[in-house]
Structure 1
Amino acid sequence: MGNPMRIRASATGDVVEVKVLMRHDMETGQRKDASGKAIPAHFIQKLVAKCNDKVVLDCLMGTSVSKDPFLSFKFKGGKKGDKINVTWHDNQGDSRSDDAVVS
């Protein structure tokens, strides 16, 4: 399991803005180490964000996403006090899930 994500969620009216900083190496599989061996691909493939167990974002990622990705998105229908859950799964079977409360 990766390091904890930093999640911030704030509401303005019924629009919630969520900002997520994920800690992940996001290796493409094309770089080589000091000895010349290829570093195996290791990247986040799927990310799902939920507000009170309702999916508000479902996305697929690939090797073109940078190390420690930052993601920001907005959705309607949320309010202060709602629970936000963000979960990712990578190509090596690792996953991480973290929660935040809308402020």
Structure 2
Amino acid sequence: MPGIKIRTKQEGGLTIVRVLITHPMETGRRRDELTGQIVPAHFIREVTIEHNRRTVANCELSTAVSKDPYISIRFRGGKTGDKVRVTWTDNLGNTESTESTIA
């Protein structure tokens, strides 16, 4: 089941954002052990991280990323109480977004 977990903290003038995304990240090359059929590709293409509606990171992913990707970034200018939003889109057109407050 899809999901996004965000952890934020302030450290030395930087805001640290840690993101864990629940996603199968299938390459399209693996065979199902029971049926022998190829499991269709299903992977995250793009992850965007915004701070107060300003993009601070735009990550392009591919099939080379493992299941349940973890992303960590640092940026300047964040303050306690500001909003951080994480949005992902996969190759099937699915998308998910969630927001957190900087601690």
Q: Where on the TM-score scale, by shorter chain, does this alignment land: which range?
A: over 0.9
What is the match of residue 9 of structure 1?
8
Q: Please name the residue that 2:52 is paired with.
A: 52
Could you tell me which amino acid in structure 1 is paired with residue 93 of structure 2?
A: G
Structure 2: stretches of 5+ with no match in the other structure = none
Structure with bigger RCO (C-alpha 8 Å, 6+ apart): 1
TM-score using structure 1 length: 0.95
1:22 — aligned with what? 21
After superposition, the Cα gap between the structure-2 partners of 1:58 and 1:44, relative to the gap in structure 1 and judged at 3 Å, is: same
- Equivalences for residues 23-38 of structure 1 within 5 A: 23-33=22-32, 34-38=34-38
| Corresponding residue number in structure 1 for 2:99 | 99
Q: By how many angstroms is 1:13 displaced?
A: 4.5
Identity in percent:
42
| CA RMSD of superposed structures (Å) | 1.0
Cα deviation digits, residues 5-64 of structure 1 (max 9, x gap):
110111124310000010000000000012111000000001100000000000100001
**Aligned residue pairs, count:** 102
Amino acid at match of 1:17: I
Q: TM-score, normalised by structure 2?
A: 0.95
Q: Which amino acid aligns with 1:21?
A: L
State the SS of the aligned residue for 1:5: strand
Matched residues in 1 for 2:87 and 2:13: separation?
23
Distance 1:14 1:81 in 2: 15
Counterpart residue number, 1:40:
40
Which residue in the other structure is 1:80 paired with? 80
Question: Which residue identity does 2:99 align to in structure 1?
Answer: D
Q: Give, in whole Å, the separation in 1 of the partners of 2:101 and 2:12.
A: 16
Q: Does structure 2 retain, via aligned residues, the 8 Å contact 1:13–1:79?
A: no
